[in-house]
Structure 1
Amino acid sequence: MLLLQGQATPAAGWDRVAADLATEFRVLRGEQRGVGGSGPVAGTNRPVDPASDAEDRWTTRALAQDVRAVLDAAGVDRVQVVGHSMGGKIAQWLAVDHPERVASLTLLATSAGTADGVPRDEAAHRLLIGRDAEARTALFFDAGWVAAHADEVRTFFTLDAPRRVLRGLYRASTEHDTVAVLPRITAPTLVVHGGRDRLAAPDSARRLAAGIPGARLVLLPDAGHGLHLDSPEAATAVRDFLREHAGR
């Protein structure tokens, strides 16, 4: 199975989830382009070159092609994909463009993009890119969980990437749009979302699930954007779904 993290978060942010799932599955994960020493273009380790950083490189669809290249390099033909936030957007394109590679699709705290017609919480997005670390953390996690897991929170928000890469990833996430192609997704799909999510509204999850044939929706009223880490109910839903589709 493959874990795809959100915009401007590192692969290490999956540590808790990866360790739990690795008791039953082979777990793959990797950094996004330009992050953690990886190159800004798939297959390179060159530093970011502003003169050659074409705008069209920073799209969720292009990032999905990076994921396909990772699967090829790992010798993995078919995989269960779990994507959180922007990772879920990337996962949607992987399922659209390479359906033969996706055995199942789990979409956490994500959407089909602003074209779904659900108004964006502008105040929340200002907090996301602002300097108030405490306010940003509150968008993701329950306060009690934060107090008990300070090291995990620090890891989740620590990213080794230049500013230009951060801008590119943010642009890719905010410009994502799969509304018209969701019916092309054939993989069994689970959508898990928090009722308190301000970065991706619950109505976006409802529309995402409605747009994918046969998709299931699990809406957890008390969860926020970081439900993949702080919600036991989300963890149970994901594991049960993965077990159901293991080996397919």
Structure 2
Amino acid sequence: MPIPLAASRRGRGPLLVCHPGGPGLHPDYLASLGALAEQRTVAVLHPRGVGRTPAAAAPDDYGLDAYTADLGAWIDREAGGGPVDLLGHSHGGIVAGLLAARRPAAVRRLVLLATPAYGGAEADARAHEGYRARRDEPRVAAALDALERHAELPADGGALGRLVADLLPLWMGPYPHAVTRWQRHLAELPANAEALRHFNTLVHPELTTALLGLREIRGPTLALAGELDALAGPDHLRRLATLVPGARTVTVPGSGHMCQLDAADAVAKAVAEFLLD
């Protein structure tokens, strides 16, 4: 049964629906996409268990099918079934892509922002290789130390939010002022440990197979990722280009997994131009 999602809206004009990632991160981390609100109504969804949306009834009810059903139900309720322009970041890109594949009439244009193309051991190895390559950056070294100290996720949402803030340098380019500002903000936002734990233990190991569903996407698609993104960077973009028929790909120079934070202007420009085509 879909959970009715809350949403934060900004701006006026054609609707752009944005699905956050994590899973389990507070949706406010996508606040920088508000730059697109100069010409559009930007609706940032609150996925199940974060922000103003209730948690799932059971700790194992955070699978991709559940998230996709929630998204589809929101579009039906708030946008008459679409078609809408749809953007998903990271895990949210997976959800958005699966909806576009399963319900093509609901999506006009699709933006996959820092969205992985595969999971499992291969993705883990690629991520750790990317992190180690930047270990000489003091903030990255401190984040890696924090990651190693937390082999188990904190069960408390506030503690998990603070850990996310500590790990943020792994996911951003070397821009100290932007990193520090967003670390302070994210440390105040609770996260959903059950959602993230479910993804890490049950979804991520089988993600490569699940993402084969993206081959059914038929609408215009833009895939963007940061040059330094160890979770969904250039190698993932290359694979998305083979998975999604006709997908355009853009690599954002010097940027990380949170490219909407450390390269906000470049991301907003690329998305706006794509949506206007």
TM-score normalised by length of structure 1: 0.80
1:162–1:241 distance in 2 versus 1, CA, 3 Å: closer
Kept after mapping to 1: 8 A contact 2:85/2:109 = yes
Deviation at 1:176, TM superposition (A): 2.8
CA distance in 1, matches of 2:18, 2:49: 18
Find the residue that maps to 2:38 and give its secondary structure: coil
- The yes-or-no answer on 1:136 pairing with 2:142 is no
Aligned counterparts, 1:72-111, within 5 A: 72-76=76-80, 77-111=82-116
> 1:216 is matched with which residue?
248
CA distance in 2, matches of 1:228, 1:93: 22
> 2:196 is matched with which residue?
166
Deviation at 1:38, TM superposition (A): 2.4
> 1:239 is matched with which residue?
272
1:21–1:162 distance in 2 versus 1, CA, 3 Å: closer
Count of aligned residue pairs for this structure pair: 231
CA distance in 1, matches of 2:85, 2:202: 23
* Identity across matched positions, percent: 30
Find the residue that maps to 2:214 and give its secondary structure: helix
Specify which of 127, 149, 159 is matched with residue 121 of structure 1.
Answer: 127
Find the residue that maps to 2:68 and give its secondary structure: helix
CA distance in 1, matches of 2:102, 2:26: 25
CA distance in 1, matches of 2:169, 2:122: 25
Aligned counterparts, 1:4-153, within 5 A: 4-7=19-22, 8-18=24-34, 20-41=35-56, 48=57, 52-53=58-59, 55=60, 57-76=61-80, 77-114=82-119, 119-122=125-128, 124=131, 127=144, 136-144=167-175, 146-148=176-178, 150-153=180-183
Q: Which amino acid aligns with 1:192?
A: L
1:38–1:129 distance in 2 versus 1, CA, 3 Å: farther
Deviates more, 1:202-211 or 1:167-176: 167-176
Deviation at 1:196, TM superposition (A): 0.8
Q: Deviations over 1:50-70 (max 9, x none)?
A: xx44x3x32223211111111
1:156–1:90 distance in 2 versus 1, CA, 3 Å: farther
1:12–1:162 distance in 2 versus 1, CA, 3 Å: closer
1:80–1:6 distance in 2 versus 1, CA, 3 Å: same
> 1:44 is matched with which residue?
none
TM-score normalised by length of structure 2: 0.72
Kept after mapping to 1: 8 A contact 2:100/2:217 = yes
> 1:45 is matched with which residue?
none
Backbone CA RMSD of aligned residues? 2.9
Higher relative contact order (CA 8 A, sep 6+): 1
Kept after mapping to 2: 8 A contact 1:35/1:165 = no
> 2:222 is matched with which residue?
190
Deviation at 1:189, TM superposition (A): 0.4
> 1:176 is matched with which residue?
207
> 1:226 is matched with which residue?
258
Runs of 5+ consecutive residues of structure 2 not aligned to the other structure: 1-15, 133-142, 151-162
